[in-house]
Amino acid sequence: MDSSSSELFEQLEFKENPLFEKIISGLLEDQYCIVEDFFDSEEVRKIRTILLNKYEEERFKKAAIGNRVNETIEKAVRGDFIMWINESDAGEAEQLFFGKINALIEYLNKTCFLGILQKEFHYAIYPEGTFYKRHLDTFQNDDRRKLSLVCYLNDEDWKPENGGELVIYKEENGVEVAKSIYPFPGRVVIFESQVLEHEVKPVKTTRLSITGWLKTR
Ligand SMILES: O=C(O)CCC(=O)C(=O)O
Ligand SMILES: [Fe+2]
């Protein structure tokens, strides 16, 4: 094939994905988007089981502020426990997780020229009474973070009274508005890491998630 026919071939092969298109228009219009049931209840259950097993095995550590060069544990700012996930030794449930994330990254790169070349994800547990004060994800002096992605892994019967909502602060017509997003299982929130400040309100019942970043290099 010469180069023009291989280009045509690539175009023909491209299949529009309605879910990913919805994410992209959400991000373009609002700088954030909420996706319900990005993972179905069976997938959430599988990933949650892995998270809880690792927590039992004491593989989580107190989350720090700043990147790994500048770790200061600051309980007044965040109270969650995290464990970084290594894709190269992902088990079945984690492969399922990365399968969907990688498909999204590939789609974003084909359609939006975002140039996502790297990613990093960690499990997070917020025990009762913990929170994460208002912040910007790039304060961790990492300007490679373009999109933040949070995937909630709470129980099926999780209720808003359990607290721990994510609040995204956003400017609309010159005024700041706060958008509260509850951590319903299977829900994924994606937002622009360098633009939107956000916080996790105090948690009344243990809150489970995977948080990660899509990065430029
Ligand atoms: O869990 C959430 O909803 C957000 C977590 C967060 O802001 C972070 O880890 O940087
Ligand atoms: Fe954050």
Give the number of whichever ligand sits closest to the CA of residue 153. 1
Average pLDDT over residues 63-77: 67
* Pick from 139, 134, 140: nearest CA to 168: 134
pLDDT of residue 86: 96
Residue 198 CA to residue 180 CA, distance in Å, equals 10
pLDDT at 75 over 80: no
pLDDT of residue 88: 95
What predicted TM-score, i.e. pTM, was given to this entire model? 0.92
Cα(205) to centroid(ligand 1), Å: 16
> What is the interface pTM, i.e. ipTM, of the complex?
0.99
Question: 193 with 145: CB under 8 angstroms?
Answer: yes
Cα(136) to centroid(ligand 2), Å: 6
pLDDT at 1 over 60: no
Q: Which atom of ligand 1 is nearest to the CA of 211?
A: 9
Question: 151 with 210: CB under 8 angstroms?
Answer: yes
pLDDT of residue 182: 98
What are φ and ψ of residue 162, in 5° steps? -70, -10
Reading the block at residue 170, the tokens are: 């956003």
pLDDT of residue 138: 87
Q: Which atom of ligand 1 is nearest to the CA of 198?
A: 7
Q: Which atom of ligand 1 is nearest to the CA of 199?
A: 7
The confidence band for 71, taking pLDDT boundaries of 50, 70 and 90, is low
87-142 pLDDT, tens per residue?
999 999 999 999 999 999 999 999 988 899 999 999 999 999 999 999 999 866 67
pLDDT of residue 76: 82
Q: Which CATH class is domain 28-215?
A: mainly beta
Domain-wise residue ranges, the chain: 28-215
Residue 149 CA to residue 191 CA, distance in Å, equals 7
pLDDT of residue 70: 54
166-200 pLDDT, tens per residue?
999 999 999 999 999 999 999 999 999 999 999 99
CB atoms within 10 A of CB 35: 19
* Three-state SS at 48: helix
For ligand 1, mutation pick of 211, 213, 214 (most atoms within 8 Å of CB): 211
